[in-house]
Structure 1
Amino acid sequence: MKKQLLYFVDHSFPFSSDGYAVRTHAVAQGFVKNGYRVTVINRFGRVFSVPGIDANNVEPHYRIDGVNYLFFKSPSGKPPSAKYFSEWLEGATKLVKELISTYQPGQILVASNWENAWPVKLACEDLGKPYIYEVRGFWELSRATKEPKWIESEDFKYAKTREADVANSATRVLTLNKLMQRILVERGVSSEKVQLLPNSLSTLPAIPELGKERERLATEVKARYGVTQPFVLAYIGTFNHYEGLHLIIRALKELPEDVGLLLIGGSMARGHDEKDVSDPIREELMVEAKAQGVMNRVYFTGRILPHEVSVLYSAIDVVVNTRISTPVTDIVSALKPIETAAHAVPMVLSDIGANKDINDEFTYPNPLFKQGDSHDLACKVRDVLSQIPEHRRQAKANREFVKHYRLFPTLINMLF
């Protein structure tokens, strides 16, 4: 009989395709490849209250790549108030107990944030069951990044305390990097229980070797999006203001006319019904591109589902990560540098703390530019393009790093 894992998350495939959902699926696949039967349980009621998703089209169960995904309509909705949260929590805790009783899991894993984890904490304490808390970020800092004054509020302190409470009650805590590990310990979590499960992939993607096959794929991708320039920069991911995407457009103005920019993604993180939804950040970027006089060199793909992204790498010469410094981005690792390295594509990264942390681990560290500085970004990109054969060789070596050290099946086998 296969070992059972119950995995409680805030949101997931197939209705979300942001970094959180991608990591969930990759971790789940890592457990599957280690002989587990994995059931991912979305926050109760959440998907049914997300704008743009037709609740009538949400099935209670999906099976994707061997991973089971469950969606429960009740208890309903995202709690809008303390009173409602109390009512939601009672029903959520009861349902968690029922799921544990039904599945009899060997492992219970719950991911950020504390609101998602709290009913699991209460249920496990009542049943005397151990659980593992996966800290993927500090959501109270994410909100403070958007609302700076919130960091001084009692609600901020409350959320910070609750995060520590969930972590302290867990038998083990998994997090992304040493920076986050240190913060958890500073918040009172025992250093002995905090372990690293860094951003990784479920499998090493197959990539075409340089030559006719890669040229054919690159030609197809360029034709699909109308790219006419021989050299292609790219950003891949969700459009957020902290990603600093305007910097790429400003840098593009300083680069030769034979360089185009492919912006892959969007500010909507859902997996369905996105073509009919406006994208405010995309519109801002289009205004910026027109103002800089480079609109004829900027191409938007819209959001691409994760399994469709790999082929796009064939057309890309350099991937740029332009995250700006915020309380969150300085400490929370991005997934895309690992994915890009796995595809053996050169990168240029901003010099924020989390980027430095992963960059130092690569066999060949990638060029870093001063965060927020579009001129320095342009200089670093120009340097890479002028020595592209050497940077491709180094990128291929970094792919080997991912193969040996950043695949979830290997890491999970070591931890479990």
Structure 2
Amino acid sequence: MTRVLHILDHSLPLQSGYTFRTRAILKSQQAAGMDVRGITGLRHHAGPDNRHGGPAAEEIDGLTFHRTTGTSSGPAGMREWREITRFAEAIDRVIDQWRPDVLHAHSPALCGLAAMRAARKHTIPLVYEIRAFWEDAAVGNLTGREGSLKYRATRALENRVVAGADAVFTICHGLRDDLVGRGFSAGKIGISPNGVDMALFGDPGPRDDALAQRLGIGALAGPGSTGFGPVIGFIGSFYDYEGLDDLIAAMPRLRTRQPGAKLLLVGGGPMDAALRQQAAASPAADAIIFTGRVPHDVVDSYYSLIDILAYPRKQSRLTDLVTPLKPLEAMAQGRIVAASDVGGHKELISDGVTGTLFVADDPAAIADALADLADNRADWDQMRARALAHVQTHHDWARNICRYQSVYQHLIDRGTDGILSRAA
């Protein structure tokens, strides 16, 4: 039985796209007969108050996660190297205790650098997986600036890990092509696309009419109905790059063609206050509903109210290179999806086939695309079926983990000088 130790920035019980992808990978590998564990660095926080601490290891949802304890301090640069050192030492201890066959590190580069130290010390193959370039994510989150010293330093660290790993995976073609453009061998870099655990998705549950009543959404729209729907929805984090300001700006124009249209925004984040202020000043203010963050175990009730899931990401280096998870989850639930035509969405959605793509950064284009979708409800059942089939065929973790297994075995058989033969 192959033992794989996953090196992670953070994990369950925290909830994020990062932790949900991690859970899906580990649970699918378990189901395939592999022995897996995870270890998190100092940036994983325990408890509702986000303090460091908690147990040195814990089992969550049948998965074992080891923790790196302590803190790191000092000036920028020195603090990060101390963080990497503590993380590498924690990985060393798990290796001595558990004896994994492969280390599988997941971005950011700090995880990769700590794993690289441990892999060299113990002569264990290292696989490094890039989910996003974190320097670009910082720009998208408005916490960094493209071309700054920190941006360039983060990129340089990423390059160092890619060069030092025995095999590399990215989640999409955009990231892989960017690395090849930097001079890295295409044969070393495979693709493990974003996916969903299809075992978690069955037929969509019934509409929660009581919740709809509390939110003031009204009755579910149907073909030929007037005065109600469609309900346009977004469920996730409110970051600037998500383009929710454009979605809000599209509502007055949308309501000229669909007078009963509502916008349901579920979640929160850095742009929350600005978006609420924009919505309050909109001529369509009465049709825009904010719920705030909701517990994960009731999210399905909010999904049940939404006719069209909208993902209006702004065009940027981040959104062109990275594929998001949320549209795949929506398609797996049999939902209609509309998204901007950034590169990350184009890898997931075929316009007019599995969903609708509209021009990014253009509220008028958003409004027209959503209105057109609402006018063509008769096509929705077929679009839902095609989208679900696409996810089942190309984005089911039960199938996708085979990409990892073949690479793991290749590296184990060849030793740490093994090179990834194209697995994507």
Scaled to the shorter chain, the TM-score interval is 0.7 to 0.9
- In the TM superposition, what are the counterparts of 1:5-404 in structure 2 within 5 Å? 5-15=4-14, 17-44=15-42, 46-47=44-45, 52-55=49-52, 58-74=54-70, 76-77=71-72, 81-145=76-140, 150-208=145-203, 214=206, 217-228=207-218, 229-254=228-253, 255=255, 256-267=258-269, 280-360=270-350, 364-404=353-393
Structure 2 CA distance for aligned equivalents of residues 197 and 218 of structure 1: 35
Q: Which string of whole-angstrom CA distances, capped at 9 and with x for unpartnered residues, describes residues 21-74 of structure 1?
A: 2212222222122122322211135426x9942446x34444333222233322
Name the aligned partner's letter for residue 153 of structure 2.
Y
SS in 2 for 1:292: coil
Which structure 2 segments of 5+ residues have no match?
A: 219-227, 406-424
Amino acid at match of 1:128: T
Q: Which amino acid aligns with 1:93?
A: A
Give the match's secondary structure for 1:315. coil
Distance in 1 between residues matched to 2:2 and 2:13, nearest whole Å? 24
- Which moved further from structure 2: 383-392 or 295-304? 295-304
Change (3 A) 1:207 1:127: closer
Q: Assess, with a 3 A threshold, how the Cα gap between structure 1 residues 298 and 60 changes in structure 2: closer, same or farther.
A: farther
C-alpha distance in 2 between matches for 1:237 and 1:79: 34
Q: What are the superposed Cα offsets for residues 316-351 of structure 1, whole Å, 9 maximum, x if unpaired?
A: 110101000111111111111111110111111101
Alignment deviations for residues 380-404 of structure 1 (CA, whole Å, 9 cap, x no partner): 1011111123123211221122112
**Aligned pairs, number:** 393
Q: 1:148 deviation in Å?
A: 10
Q: Distance in 2 between matches of 1:296 and 1:332?
A: 34
Letter paired with 1:6? L
* 1:349–1:355 contact (8 Å) kept in structure 2: yes
Superposed displacement of residue 127, structure 1: 1.5
Residue of 394, 405, 411 corresponding to 1:405: 394
Residues in 2 aligned to 1:45 and 1:19: alpha-carbon distance in whole angstroms: 16
2:91–2:115 Cα contact (<8 Å) kept: yes
Residues of 2 paired with 1:295 and 1:40: CA distance? 45
Amino acid at match of 1:36: M
Instruction: Note if contact 2:68-2:86 (Cα within 8 Å) is conserved in structure 1.
Output: no
Alpha-carbon distance, 1:303 to partner: 2.5
Distance in 1 separating the partners of 2:184 and 2:237: 31
For 1:109, what is the secondary structure of its paired residue?
strand
Give me the whole-angstrom Cα distance separating, in 1, the residues matched to 2:289 and 2:144. 36
Q: 1:402 to 1:376 in 2, by over 3 A?
A: same
Kindly state the Cα deviation for residue 413 of structure 1 after the two structures are TM-superposed: 2.5
Q: Supply the distance in 1 between the matched residues of 2:51 and 2:216 (Cα, whole angstroms).
A: 33
Task: Tell me: CA distance 1:355–1:78, structure 2 relative to 1, closer, same or farther (3 Å).
Answer: farther
Assess, with a 3 A threshold, how the Cα gap between structure 1 residues 3 and 38 changes in structure 2: closer, same or farther. same
Deviation at 1:206, TM superposition (A): 3.5
Q: Structure 2: how far apart are the matches of 1:79 and 1:35?
A: 43
Partner Cα distance (1:153, 1:316) in 2: 41
CA RMSD of aligned residues (A): 2.5
Q: Tell me the amino acid that sits aligned with residue 34 of structure 2.
A: Y
> Residues 286 and 154 (structure 1 numbering): CA distance in 2 closer, same or farther, change over 3 Å?
closer
1:363/1:397 contact within 8 Å kept = no
For 1:415, the equivalent position in structure 2 comes to 404
Change (3 A) 1:387 1:363: closer
Which amino acid in 2 is paired with 1:343?
Answer: Q
TM-fit CA distance, 1:363: 9.1
